[in-house]
Amino acid sequence: MTPFTSILVATDFSVDGNNAVRRAALLAHQHGASLHILHVLKEAACRPLRDWFSPLTDIDLKAALARAALRRVAVEIAGAYDVTATVEVQVGDPLQTLMQASAHVDLVVLGRRGHSRLESLLIGRTADRMLRTCRQPVLVVKKPADAPYRKVLMPMDFTAGSDAAVRLGTRMVGGARMHVFHAADSYMESMLRRAGVASSIILDVKAREESGTLSRMRRMLARLGVDTRPVFFSVGRGPADLATLERARTLNADLIVAGKNGRSTLGAFLLGSVSSSVLSESDCDMLIVPQPRDSTLPRVESAAVASDVRGATESEALAAAHWMQKTPGFVVRRAS
């Protein structure tokens, strides 16, 4: 089953907007999806002329020019990607207009930034609001769409948001090299170092923790119905945003697929003011997947997942406690 049957792309005719259109057309061709290209004429842009010209004449002229430009774009992508796109020009607030249009599609595609009509949409607070409120996956395009995605990084934090991202990401880019990554908390390591635990013991504790995390990742993907044979797994250290950016650059990834979940570390990475800096600092495209309204996992399986995560966490803690108990001068107490 294809993940996308309908795709919406917004363009302001800038270089980034054209890259977004081409990427959306490539995805529409890959998935056999319909493609709708939207251009928004911001009402504020016409207000300075209203004192001198008829507002309808000015808006009609701008809309006619925009429709002509969109038709040329549609002809271009029809020849390049064998995709027949519908085009539309609307007048209004860019965010509200795009939100209304996005309610009827499976994927929204945006350029990284624009130089004119949609600039306020793609940068700063409006982009943050779009990522927070849009119930559809949003793909932010940064690079020219010269080929299908080849290397995809999927950060995982064991929440429903990252589960949804992994499911959608693996179905969207089935032919790409997929790398699932988890940023582990370095609190235990810091605590051991402050306690003066020997480096060899700390390394062993870290190895045990990473091994347990990798096992959890594989089990989670198996429960999600993902074939783990072609998937690469890795564990990093530090804040989720910085660790993910570092791993993406190391892998030379051309796409990051991440979940949106405000209750998790990864959610804090994707939402709020941090999202703008991540989008500007990363070198690749980014697909942001919202948490589904209703969990797609059965209740019994969801409980098993939670139990598995708790069990793995307790095992890691006990492993660390085992080594700390054998360390002179270091006492571990169980919680009452």
pLDDT tens figures, 207-248: 888 888 899 999 999 998 888 888 999 998 887 788 888 999
What is the per-residue pLDDT for 267?
44
Tokens 């977004």, residue located: 20
d(CA 120, CA 227): 40
Residue 285 has pLDDT above 80, yes or no: yes
Contacting residues for 160 by C-beta, under 8 A, at least 6 apart? 259, 261, 291, 292, 295
By CB atoms closer than 10 A (0-12, 13-18, 19+), residue 335 is: exposed
The secondary structure element, H or E, covering residue 90 is strand 85-91
Do the beta carbons of residue 151 and residue 176 sit within 8 Å?
A: yes
- The pTM score is 0.76
3-class SS at 274? helix
Tokens 């309610």, residue located: 103
Residue 179 has pLDDT above 90, yes or no: yes
What is the per-residue pLDDT for 325?
41
What residue ranges define each of the domains in the chain, with the CATH number in brackets? 6-141 (3.40.50.620), 151-325 (3.40.50.620)
What is the per-residue pLDDT for 255?
95
What is the per-residue pLDDT for 124?
42
Residue 164 has pLDDT above 60, yes or no: yes
For the chain, how many helices (H) and strands (E)?
13, 10
Backbone φ and ψ of 240, nearest 5°: -60, -40
Mean pLDDT over each residue of the chain, to the nearest integer:
76
Q: What is the dihedral of CA 132, 137, 141, 142, to 10 degrees?
A: 50
Residue 64 has pLDDT above 80, yes or no: yes
108: pLDDT confidence band, cut at 50, 70 and 90? very high
Do the beta carbons of residue 290 and residue 137 sit within 8 Å?
A: yes
Backbone φ and ψ of 97, nearest 5°: -65, -45
305: pLDDT confidence band, cut at 50, 70 and 90? very low
Over residues 77-93, the mean pLDDT reads: 93
66: pLDDT confidence band, cut at 50, 70 and 90? very high
Please give the residue that has the higher pLDDT: either 51 or 161.
Answer: 161
44: pLDDT confidence band, cut at 50, 70 and 90? low
Do the beta carbons of residue 220 and residue 159 sit within 8 Å?
A: no
321: pLDDT confidence band, cut at 50, 70 and 90? very low
58: pLDDT confidence band, cut at 50, 70 and 90? confident
